[in-house]
Amino acid sequence: MTPPRLPSRRRLLESGVGAALLPIVGAARAATPAAASALPYPAQPVRLVVAYAAGGGADFAARLVAQKLQETAGIPVVVENRPGAAGVVGTEYVARSPGDGHTLLFADAGHGINAAVYPTARYHPVRDFTPLTLVASSPQLLAAHPSVPADSLGELLALPRAQTQAMGVGTTGQGSGPHLTYELLRARTGLRLIHVPYKGGGPAINDAVGGQIPLVINSMPACMPHLQSGRLKPLALATAARHPRLPEVQTFAESARGVVAMNWYGVLAPAHLPPALADRLTRDIGRVLELPEVREKFAAAFLDPMPQGGAAFARFLEAEVRKWKDVVAQTGAVTG
C-alpha cells in the first residue's frame, strides 16, 4: 500500500494551516546549540567533583568554595567525591562530561603530576579541560624526627653520605607529589635517601613522629600540628622564598636551585565550555576567594590563597605538566 503524500508547504500556506504551524517550526529551529548556550545558568545543581575520598585537603577546600559560591552567586553546588587511581578516575569522569558548566573538577597538584606518572590515562590534563581559576596552594615540606642530627636541609646535605643513604624518607606513595619532590631534590643535590612509600600522608607522618622513619615529605598543612608540638622539626620548604608562617625555615632553593614544589588546588571545567560562561565562573569563584571568612579559614588550614584565572591558570598548568614529566624522565621514578 502506497503511503499518503503529505501536503506541500505551499498548499499548507494556501489552506491557512501552515500559518499556524510556522511559529512552531521557527521555535524548533531556534533551539540550536547557540541558542541553548543562552539559556539561564545553572539549569540544575552544579557538581564539583573531588577525585579523592572525603576528609582530605582537597575535600575541605572544595566544600568551602562550594558553600560560598552558592551563598554569593546563587549557584547551587554539590561536592561529589569520586576517588580512585590517585585521582585519575574522577578526573577522567569530568573530562568526559558535557562542557556546559554543570560538572566541574576541583583539582590538585596530582592533575599535573599524573600526566607523567599515568601516561595511559584516557584524558589530557590541559587539552581536555577549561582552566577556570587556581584557588590555593601550600608548599611541600621536608621534616625530621627530633633525633635527626640536622636542623636544616643544608645541614642534612653536609652529613656523611654513608649516613644519609641509610635514612628513610616517607612519602604519600610511589609517584605522588612528595615522592617526586624527593626525586627532584635528589637530582639537584645528589642526596640519596631510602624512599619509603606509604598509602597516604597520615601513616607516613605518624611513623616519622614515632621515630620509625627519620624523615618525611608532605604538604605544610599536614605537618604543621606536629611542628607546633615539637614532635617533628622542619628542615626546609620547597619554595623559592621563605614562607611568612615559617620565616625561620630554610627553603629548598637555598641549597638546591630550582627545587620548588607545591600542592595546589584549582577549578577546571570540561573542554569546550562557552567562553562567556567560563569568564562568569572565574569571576564568581574569584569573588569567593576574596571573602574575609574564606581567607581566614584558608589561613587556619595553612593554605595560601592563589587566585589566578583563565589564561594564567592555563600557563601554570602547562608548566606543571612539563616539570613533572621532565622529573620522571630524568630520574627514572617509577610510573604507574
In the three-class reduction of DSSP (H, G, I as helix; E, B as strand; rest coil), residue 50 is classed as strand
Whether 25 has a pLDDT exceeding 60, the answer reads no
185 and 217 together in one domain: yes
161 and 233 together in one domain: yes
Find the helix or strand (DSSP H, E) in which 275 lies.
helix 275-290
Boundary residue ending a domain (226, 255, 284): 255
What value does the mean pLDDT take over residues 143-163? 97
pLDDT digits (tens, 9 = 90+) for 197-211: 999 899 999 999 999
168 and 233 together in one domain: yes
Boundary residue ending a domain (238, 255, 272): 255
Q: Domain total for the chain?
A: 2
74 and 149 together in one domain: no
Query: The C-alpha cell of 254 is what?
Result: 637555598
Residues 143-161, buried b or exposed e (16+ Cβ, 10 A)? bbbeebebebbebbbeeee
Query: The C-alpha cell of 321 is what?
Result: 605538566
Q: Tell me how far CA of residue 202 lies from CA of 99, 197, 269, 304, 336, in angstroms.
A: 36, 12, 30, 21, 22
Residue 2 domain flag: no
- Asked if omega into 42 is within 30° of 0 (cis), the reply is yes
Whether 17 has a pLDDT exceeding 50, the answer reads no
Residue 40 domain flag: no
Containing domain of residue 212, as a range? 139-255
Cα torsion angle, 309, 312, 101, 301, sign = negative
Mean pLDDT over each residue of the chain, to the nearest integer: 89
Note whether 170 and 196 are within 8 A (CB).
Answer: yes
pLDDT digits (tens, 9 = 90+) for 69-104: 999 999 999 999 999 999 999 999 999 999 999 999
145 and 251 together in one domain: yes
Boundary residue ending a domain (208, 225, 255): 255
159 and 235 together in one domain: yes
Residue 9 domain flag: no
267 and 195 together in one domain: no
What CATH number is given to the structural domain containing 235?
A: 3.40.190.10
